[in-house]
Chain A
Amino acid sequence: MVRFFLRRSCVFLLTLFVASLAIFAMVEIIPGDPARTMLGLNASDEAVAALRTELNLNQSGVRRYLAWIGGICQGDFGLSYTYRTPAITLIAERLAITLPLALYALILTIGIALPLGAFAGTREGTAADRLITLASQFGIALPNFWFAVMLILIFALNLGWLPAGGFDGWEAGIAQGLAHLTLPAIALALPQASILLRVMRGALIETARQDYIRTARAKGLSRDQALWRHGFANALIPVLTILGMQLSFLIAGAIIIENVFRLPGLGRLIVQAINQRDLILTEAIILLMVALVISVSFLTDLLYGAIDPRLRRQRP
């Protein structure tokens, strides 16, 4: 077990390192001079050159990568070119919106998907099952940006129940903050919930066919009882796998939704950073998102290894 853990950790760190290289290279390759972008249309070449020196843009790529990665190892993500404040501070400010939004959406996803999925999965083939399955098909086919606009149109502009967008900060009160996040969270959650619902339903149907459920039923338990006692634990494994992936997608995927609802979250920050060629900030955000996804898959790996010793030797 310890060897397994160590080996996985090494691979994890190596993966992160490769990811950081790839991200740095990718961001640096894009044309567009950060200094020129900051100074604008009528800036003189001297002014641009002066700013380039100030930002260390004249150093070689290798040196800048080493400086960057060295800083990150010490927890320093560098100074944002445009804001001239530490990138990590900017990111932390935005995470105060993006993380709660992702969690809110995740809770909605689970709250919608698991009960409905369980309901449908234990009643395979009934009218209710068909209806839920069909609805989930729609949920998957719905482009979430379009859905978001429709939500604003109906619930914010016509009915006036919830704000149309924006965010006044958590200091304005938690209730108000949550009100601002409700429509975006619904727009984010519905497609993901549709997927999770189908996974839950499928997993339940599959476990229902397993021998131990049959045995349990032969012992006199009703189908539902058997599933409750034995089936759900097994159904939860695929559900958790998908859920782990969905959390990272909810954070990375909020870009469109944050734009539609003008929430000052991480998604908006990265759009801004890319457009202003704020290389430091762009790299920091992408690295963070990528690291999050890789970490989730690392944790799932460890979890599986802990559950099932056979998997310690080779990845499924």
Chain B
Amino acid sequence: MKRGQSQIIIGGVVLGAIILAGLLSLIWTPADPLAMAINQRMQMPSAGAWLGTDHFGRDILARLMAATPLTLSVAFIGVSIGFIGGVPLGLTAALTPRPLIGQILMRGGDVFFAFPILIMAMLITAGFGGGAWVAILAIGFFNIPVFLRVTRAGALGQSHCTYIQSARLAGKSTARIAIEHIFPNIAPLLILQASIQFSLGVLAEAGLSYLGLGASPTTPSWGRMLADSQTLMGLAPHLAIAPGVVIVVTVLAINLIAEGLRQRLDPRQQNLLGRGQAWR
């Protein structure tokens, strides 16, 4: 087996199962995730409700499933925004013939990066009200400078290679070189970074909705389920354990995939993970 393949397979199977459960929830859940039954609240797991019911008597399993598409897509869209915004900027910063532009982009990225994501989400929510879009925006903004840096570093490494030099000599424009030669060559690196950012995005989404900064309260969400259950820990610990375990397993699965990708790509790229931790 190739390096890292087992990790990718295990992670892929687990993540696939979670995504499948999430997709399934769009057409079927074991119970209505929104239907309340106040007199049946905080029931322990049983045949009727496999993971028990929450503080409003809603089915926990149904809510966990129903929350999956939202959490994953918030993280995915957020990272995509960072990718789409950060990669072109990073390429520009690396390849621009004018060092001033590169400097401005890098310093701008620094300012962005220095801005604590949580505080930004709090500011937006405080002023304009919450919603999934706040989480998407916050995760997106946070990821732009991450991709800017990784792309620039990768592109700088490539720009001295001979094939780039020859393309330059052949008279190709910088933009064409960036798109036709550099991007395909650093794509694996970017995919790896994206997978790491995706797992951080899932954690960030949970953290933001835990603080009430994410999806609207009626929408099921893992982080909010944790927040809701916190005071009920003594009465009904299962309320907190189920969503906590789901978050850990999901993040673990994505990280496994990333780890496998890293080993296949380049065993020396060890430091990527550290870059993305700012949101905590």
Tell whether any CB of A sits under 8 Å from a CB of B in the complex: yes
Contact A15 B110 (CB under 8 A): yes
Chain B positions 152-190 with a Cβ under 8 Å from a chain A Cβ: 153
Q: A249 interface residue, CB < 8 Å from B?
A: yes
Contact A246 B128 (CB under 8 A): no
Contact A252 B116 (CB under 8 A): yes
Q: B233 interface residue, CB < 8 Å from A?
A: yes
Least distance between A202 CB and chain B CB atoms (Å): 3
Contact B274 A149 (CB under 8 A): no
Q: Interface-forming stretch among B22-30, B58-66, B247-255?
A: B247-255
Q: Which one of B123, B234, B256 lies within 8 Å of A274 (CB-CB)?
A: B123
Q: How many residues of B contact A (CB 8 A)?
A: 53
Q: Interface-forming stretch among A24-32, A79-87, A215-223, A224-232?
A: A24-32
Least distance between B253 CB and chain A CB atoms (Å): 9
Interface centre among B128, B211, B230, B280 (most CB of A within 10 A): B280
Least distance between A75 CB and chain B CB atoms (Å): 21
Cβ contacts B236-270/A at 8 Å (1 or 0 each): 00001000100111011001100100000001101
Contact A140 B111 (CB under 8 A): no
Q: B81 interface residue, CB < 8 Å from A?
A: no
Q: A179 interface residue, CB < 8 Å from B?
A: no
Q: B115 interface residue, CB < 8 Å from A?
A: yes
Give A293 to B110 CA distance when docked, in angstroms.
Answer: 9
Given contacts A137-B256, A249-B277, A293-B113, contact A256 B127 (CB under 8 A): no
Majority secondary structure of chain A interface residues (helix, strand, loop or mixed): helix
Give A157 to B237 CA distance when docked, in angstroms.
Answer: 14
> Which residue of chain B has the shortest Cβ distance to A286 in the bound complex?
B119
Given contacts A143-B206, A149-B240, A256-B118, contact A199 B127 (CB under 8 A): no
Contact B270 A143 (CB under 8 A): no
Chain B positions within 8 Å of A249 at CB level? 277-278, 280
Chain A positions within 8 Å of B108 at CB level? 18
Chain A positions within 8 Å of B40 at CB level? none
Chain B positions within 8 Å of A277 at CB level? 126
> Which residue of chain B has the shortest Cβ distance to A204 in the bound complex?
B270
Q: B103 interface residue, CB < 8 Å from A?
A: yes
Q: Which one of A29, A140, A256 lies within 8 Å of B207 (CB-CB)?
A: A256
Contact A270 B119 (CB under 8 A): yes
Contact A195 B127 (CB under 8 A): no
Contact A256 B210 (CB under 8 A): yes
Chain B positions within 8 Å of A196 at CB level? 274
Given contacts A138-B248, A315-B106, contact A143 B119 (CB under 8 A): no
Contact A145 B128 (CB under 8 A): no
Chain B positions within 8 Å of A206 at CB level? 267-268, 270
Give A313 to B274 CA distance when docked, in angstroms.
Answer: 25
Chain B positions within 8 Å of A92 at CB level? none
Give A107 to B275 CA distance when docked, in angstroms.
Answer: 20
Contact B247 A275 (CB under 8 A): no
Contact B111 A141 (CB under 8 A): no
> Which residue of chain A has the shortest Cβ distance to B255 in the bound complex?
A137
> Which residue of chain A has the shortest Cβ distance to B275 in the bound complex?
A245
Q: A253 interface residue, CB < 8 Å from B?
A: yes
Q: B273 interface residue, CB < 8 Å from A?
A: yes
Given contacts A15-B111, A26-B123, contact A195 B252 (CB under 8 A): no
Q: B91 interface residue, CB < 8 Å from A?
A: no
Chain A positions within 8 Å of B271 at CB level? 199, 202-203, 238, 241-242
Least distance between A223 CB and chain B CB atoms (Å): 18
Least distance between A227 CB and chain B CB atoms (Å): 16
Q: A131 interface residue, CB < 8 Å from B?
A: no
Given contacts A137-B256, A149-B230, A252-B116, contact A143 B244 (CB under 8 A): yes
Contact A141 B255 (CB under 8 A): yes
Contact A199 B107 (CB under 8 A): no
Give A297 to B112 CA distance when docked, in angstroms.
Answer: 13
Least distance between A116 CB and chain B CB atoms (Å): 15
Q: A153 interface residue, CB < 8 Å from B?
A: yes
Q: Which one of B128, B203, B273, B278 lies within 8 Å of A31 (CB-CB)?
A: B128
Contact A252 B107 (CB under 8 A): no
Cβ contacts A60-99/B at 8 Å (1 or 0 each): 0000000000000000000000000000000000000000
Chain B positions within 8 Å of A289 at CB level? 114, 116, 119
Least distance between A94 CB and chain B CB atoms (Å): 14
> Which residue of chain A has the shortest Cβ distance to B152 in the bound complex?
A315
Contact B122 A271 (CB under 8 A): yes
> Which residue of chain B has the shortest Cβ distance to A314 in the bound complex?
B99
Chain A positions 170-186 with a Cβ under 8 Å from a chain B Cβ: none
Contact A146 B244 (CB under 8 A): yes
Q: B75 interface residue, CB < 8 Å from A?
A: no
Give A293 to B142 CA distance when docked, in angstroms.
Answer: 14
Chain A positions 18-73 with a Cβ under 8 Å from a chain B Cβ: 18-19, 22-23, 26-27, 29-32
Given contacts A137-B255, A138-B252, A141-B199, contact A274 B111 (CB under 8 A): no
Least distance between A87 CB and chain B CB atoms (Å): 16
Q: A299 interface residue, CB < 8 Å from B?
A: no
Q: A233 interface residue, CB < 8 Å from B?
A: no
18 extra interface residue pairs, beta carbon distance < 8 Å, beyond A286-B115, A293-B114: A11-B103, A26-B123, A27-B123, A141-B248, A143-B207, A199-B273, A245-B278, A248-B114, A252-B116, A252-B278, A253-B278, A271-B122, A275-B126, A286-B116, A290-B114, A290-B115, A290-B116, A293-B110
**7 examples of A-B residue contacts, CB within 8 angstroms:** A30-B124, A137-B256, A140-B251, A143-B203, A143-B206, A191-B277, A203-B270
Nearest first, the 3 A-B pairs at minimum CB distance are A202-B270, A30-B127, A293-B114
